[in-house]
Structure 1
Amino acid sequence: MAPTLRTVVRRLSLKLGVLSGQDALDRPVRWVAVSELEDPTPFLEGAELVLTTGMRLDARNAGSYVDRLVGREVTGLGFGIGLGHEKIPAALVDAAARAGLPLIEVPRDTPFVAIGKVVSELLAAEQYDEISRAFAAQGRLTRAALRPEGPQAVIDRLARELGGWALLLDEAGAVRHATGRGAAVAAEGLRPELERLRKSEGRGAPTSLALSTPLEHVIVQPLGARRIRGFFAVGLERPFTPVAHTVVNAAGSLLTLAIEHGGEHLAAERRVRSAVLRLLLAGQVQAGRETLERLGDGFPCGPLVVIAAGGDGEAVLEAGGNEFAAADEGRVVLVVPAGRADTVVSALRDHGPLGVGATVSPEDLRTGLEQADRALASARRGAVPVMRFADLAGQSLMSLLDPDVTAAFSSALLAPLREHGSRADLLASLRAYLECNGHWDAAAQRLGVHRHTLRYRMRRAAELLGRDLDDPAVRAELWVALAVAD
Structure 2
Amino acid sequence: MVGITSLGLRVLAGVAALDRPVRWVAVSELEDPTPFLEGDELVLTTGMRLTPQDAGPYVSRLVGRGVAGMGFGVGLGHDDVPPEFVAAAAEAGMPLVEVPRQTPFIAVGKAVSELLAAERYEELSSAFAAQERLTRAALRPGGLAAVVDRLAREIHGWAVLLGPDGEPLHAAGEGAAAGTALVRAELGRLRSPGAPASLALSAPGEHVVVRPLGERHRLGGFFAAGAAGPFTPVGQTVVNTAGSLLALSLARGRDQLAAARRVRAAVLELLLAGEHEAAGRAIEALGGGLPAGPVTVLACEPHDAEALYDALPGFTAPWDGLVVALVPAGEAERAAGIAGTRGRVGVSAPVRQDELATGLDQARLALGSAGPVTRFADLAGQGLLSLVDPGLLSGFATSLLAPLREYGSRADLVESLRAYLACNGHWDAAAQRLGVHRHTLRYRMRRVGELLGRDLDDPAVRAELWVALSARPRAPLKR
Residue pairs, 1:107-186, within 5 angstroms: 107-186=100-179
Larger Rg: 1
SS in structure 2 of the partner of residue 263 of structure 1: coil
1:253 Cα offset (Å):
1.0
1:185 Cα offset (Å):
4.1
Q: 8 Å contact 1:225–1:260 — kept in the other structure?
A: no
1:77 Cα offset (Å):
1.4
1:19 Cα offset (Å):
1.9
Between the aligned partners of 1:128 and 1:73, the Cα distance in structure 2 is: 25
Query: Residue in 2 aligned with 1:33?
Result: 26
Residue pairs, 1:178-257, within 5 angstroms: 178-199=171-192, 202-203=193-194, 206-225=196-215, 227=217, 228-257=219-248
- Gaps of at least 5 residues in structure 2 are 259-479
Query: Residue in 2 aligned with 1:61?
Result: 54
- Gaps of at least 5 residues in structure 1 are 1-7, 268-486
Between the aligned partners of 1:66 and 1:146, the Cα distance in structure 2 is: 54
Q: Which runs of 4+ in 1 moved over 6 A?
A: none
1:226 Cα offset (Å):
5.3
Say if 1:60 and 1:164 are closer, same or farther in 2 by CA, change over 3 A.
closer
SS in structure 1 of the partner of residue 254 of structure 2: helix
Q: What letter matches 2:181 in structure 1?
A: E
Q: What letter matches 1:237 in structure 2?
A: A
How big is each residue's C-alpha offset from its partner over 1:227-247, in whole Å with a ceiling of 9 and x where there is no partner? 322111112233322222111
Query: Residue in 1 aligned with 2:93?
Result: 100
Between the aligned partners of 1:185 and 1:23, the Cα distance in structure 2 is: 34
Between the aligned partners of 2:14 and 2:156, the Cα distance in structure 1 is: 33
Say if 1:252 and 1:110 are closer, same or farther in 2 by CA, change over 3 A.
same
Query: Residue in 1 aligned with 2:443?
Result: none
Q: 8 Å contact 1:162–1:244 — kept in the other structure?
A: yes
Tell me the matched-pair count. 257
Q: What letter matches 1:75 in structure 2?
A: A
Q: 8 Å contact 1:78–1:104 — kept in the other structure?
A: yes
SS in structure 2 of the partner of residue 10 of structure 1: coil
Between the aligned partners of 1:188 and 1:90, the Cα distance in structure 2 is: 54
Residue pairs, 1:262-273, within 5 angstroms: 262-265=253-256
| TM-score computed with the length of structure 2 as normaliser | 0.51
SS in structure 1 of the partner of residue 197 of structure 2: coil
Between the aligned partners of 1:258 and 1:129, the Cα distance in structure 2 is: 29
Q: How many percent identity over aligned positions?
A: 65
1:212 Cα offset (Å):
1.3
Between the aligned partners of 1:248 and 1:122, the Cα distance in structure 2 is: 26
SS in structure 1 of the partner of residue 25 of structure 2: strand
Say if 1:179 and 1:95 are closer, same or farther in 2 by CA, change over 3 A.
closer
Between the aligned partners of 2:135 and 2:181, the Cα distance in structure 1 is: 29
Between the aligned partners of 1:252 and 1:98, the Cα distance in structure 2 is: 45
Structure possessing the higher relative contact order (Cα contacts under 8 Å, 6 or more residues apart): 2
Between the aligned partners of 1:97 and 1:170, the Cα distance in structure 2 is: 53
Between the aligned partners of 2:136 and 2:222, the Cα distance in structure 1 is: 21
Say if 1:263 and 1:91 are closer, same or farther in 2 by CA, change over 3 A.
same
1:166 Cα offset (Å):
1.5
Query: Residue in 2 aligned with 1:42?
Result: 35
Between the aligned partners of 2:182 and 2:19, the Cα distance in structure 1 is: 37
| TM-score computed with the length of structure 1 as normaliser | 0.50
TM-align CA RMSD: 2.1
Between the aligned partners of 1:168 and 1:208, the Cα distance in structure 2 is: 14
SS in structure 1 of the partner of residue 186 of structure 2: helix
Query: Residue in 2 aligned with 1:303?
Result: none
Say if 1:265 and 1:63 are closer, same or farther in 2 by CA, change over 3 A.
closer
Query: Residue in 1 aligned with 2:251?
Result: 260
Between the aligned partners of 2:214 and 2:189, the Cα distance in structure 1 is: 16
1:38 Cα offset (Å):
0.6
